[in-house]
């Protein structure tokens, strides 16, 4: 086989997807910076304080979606919410929604599958975060939270700063985050380009196509160790989808990886006992599989 043809195909895909991701990421991270400037942790705690289960779960899931922190800052914020007496189930809705509904994930999903599937994804995962957070609270899993303190929590936001200062801060945030994430963008584009150019579509269809009943649960499980960052996983998922992987398996892969990534689970193990960590991972996998089945069913209607 002439290796130059798939190599050229892979190279063309790499340049195209890398350029699209860079432009999209810079714009979205600037908006993320603005969200963090106007919705600080203190405001989240203030709104959720005194809220009971139900309404509190809905509000915390909304804040989880609007405060797109990485796991290294989500976990300290989770502890801060627990420290001031926010009900455990309400805090869990925040924890479940934060990685699955942040603007970066949603923007990349729009580029991957379009507006309508992304809206379905957002509605499903938001509902799951609300209901499952409430359920974990009702089942009394708060007794498995360790009595720990996390050092190096984010500095409080100066809510009296001017709009210009916040905009400049958001731009600086976008630049810093882009520098950190750029290698992962390139890695994801590179892996996706290799799959696009060299992995036969028939192989992917046989292993993870719609005809394989185990494709969705396997994809959900594989997503956990495979996940590096959303910026890496999304371009890989785009290629897998184009090569014939079922939409259900792709969504399960994304949710399993983004919701229960190894870095996040490792941090949670420092503040949760093993039974609660296992319940959290099982919850994410359940959401991933159910969402995968939903998307697969909708794709054939």
**CA 116, 118, 120 angle in degrees (round to 5)?**
70
Q: How many domains does the chain have?
A: 1
Read off the pLDDT of residues 105-152 as tens digits, 9 standing for 90 and up: 788 788 778 899 899 999 999 999 999 999 999 999 999 988 765 444
**CA 181, 65, 71 angle in degrees (round to 5)?**
45
pTM of structure: 0.71
Read off the pLDDT of residues 25-82 as tens digits, 9 standing for 90 and up: 676 667 666 766 666 656 666 667 666 677 889 988 988 887 655 555 677 678 777 8
pLDDT at 24 over 70: no
Least confident interval from 107-121, 189-203, 236-250: 189-203
Residue with the bigger pLDDT between 84 and 40: it is 84
For the record, the structure tokens of 86 come out as: 């926010």
Q: What's the confidence (pLDDT) of residue 152?
A: 43
Residue percentage of the chain with pLDDT more than 70? 65
Instruction: Round to whole Å and give the CA distance between 147 and 72.
Output: 18
Band the pLDDT of 21: cuts 50, 70, 90: low
Token pair 């046989």 is at which residue?
A: 206
Residues 102, 68: contact at Cβ < 8 Å? yes
For the record, the structure tokens of 165 come out as: 């200062």
Q: What's the confidence (pLDDT) of residue 71?
A: 57
Say which residues have a Cβ less than 8 Å from residue 59's Cβ, sequence separation at least 6: 47, 48, 51, 90
pLDDT at 87 over 90: no
Least confident interval from 124-128, 286-290, 295-299: 295-299
Band the pLDDT of 100: cuts 50, 70, 90: confident
Tell me the average pLDDT of the chain.
76
Q: In terms of residue numbers, what domain contains 81? A: 4-299
pLDDT average, residue stretch 272-298:
92
Residue 299: how many CB atoms within 10 A of its CB?
12
Token pair 């926010």 is at which residue?
A: 86
Read off the pLDDT of residues 168-184 as tens digits, 9 standing for 90 and up: 777 776 777 677 667 76
Residue with the bigger pLDDT between 212 and 277: it is 277
Band the pLDDT of 154: cuts 50, 70, 90: very low
Instruction: Round to whole Å and give the CA distance between 131 and 57.
Output: 8
């Amino acid at each position: 086989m002439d290796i130059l043809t798939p190599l050229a195909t892979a190279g063309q895909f790499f340049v195209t997807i890398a350029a699209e991701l860079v432009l999209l990421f810079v714009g979205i991270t600037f908006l993320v910076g603005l969200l963090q400037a106007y919705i600080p942790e203190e405001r989240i705690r203030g709104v959720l304080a005194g809220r009971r289960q139900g309404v509190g779960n809905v509000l915390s899931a909304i804040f989880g979606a609007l405060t797109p922190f990485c796991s290294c800052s989500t976990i300290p914020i989770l502890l801060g919410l627990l420290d001031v007496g926010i009900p455990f189930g309400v805090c869990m809705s925040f924890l479940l929604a934060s990685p699955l509904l942040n603007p970066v994930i949603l923007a990349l999903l729009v580029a991957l599958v379009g507006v309508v599937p992304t809206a379905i994804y957002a509605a499903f995962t938001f509902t799951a975060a609300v209901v499952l957070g409430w359920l974990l609270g009702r089942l009394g899993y708060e007794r498995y939270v360790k009595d720990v303190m996390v050092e190096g929590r984010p500095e409080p936001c100066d809510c009296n700063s001017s709009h210009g200062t916040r905009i400049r801060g958001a731009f600086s945030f976008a630049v810093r985050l882009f520098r950190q994430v750029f290698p992962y963008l390139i890695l994801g584009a590179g892996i996706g380009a290799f799959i696009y150019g060299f992995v036969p579509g028939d192989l992917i269809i046989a292993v993870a196509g719609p005809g394989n009943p185990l494709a969705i649960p396997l994809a959900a499980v594989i997503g956990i160790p495979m996940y590096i960052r959303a910026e890496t996983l999304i371009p890989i998922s785009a290629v897998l989808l184009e090569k014939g992987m079922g939409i259900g398996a792709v969504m399960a892969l994304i949710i399993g990886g983004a919701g229960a990534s190894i870095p996040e689970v490792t941090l949670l193990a420092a503040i949760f006992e093993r039974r609660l960590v296992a319940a959290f991972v099982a919850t994410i996998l359940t959401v991933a599989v159910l969402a995968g089945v939903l998307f697969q069913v909708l794709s054939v209607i």
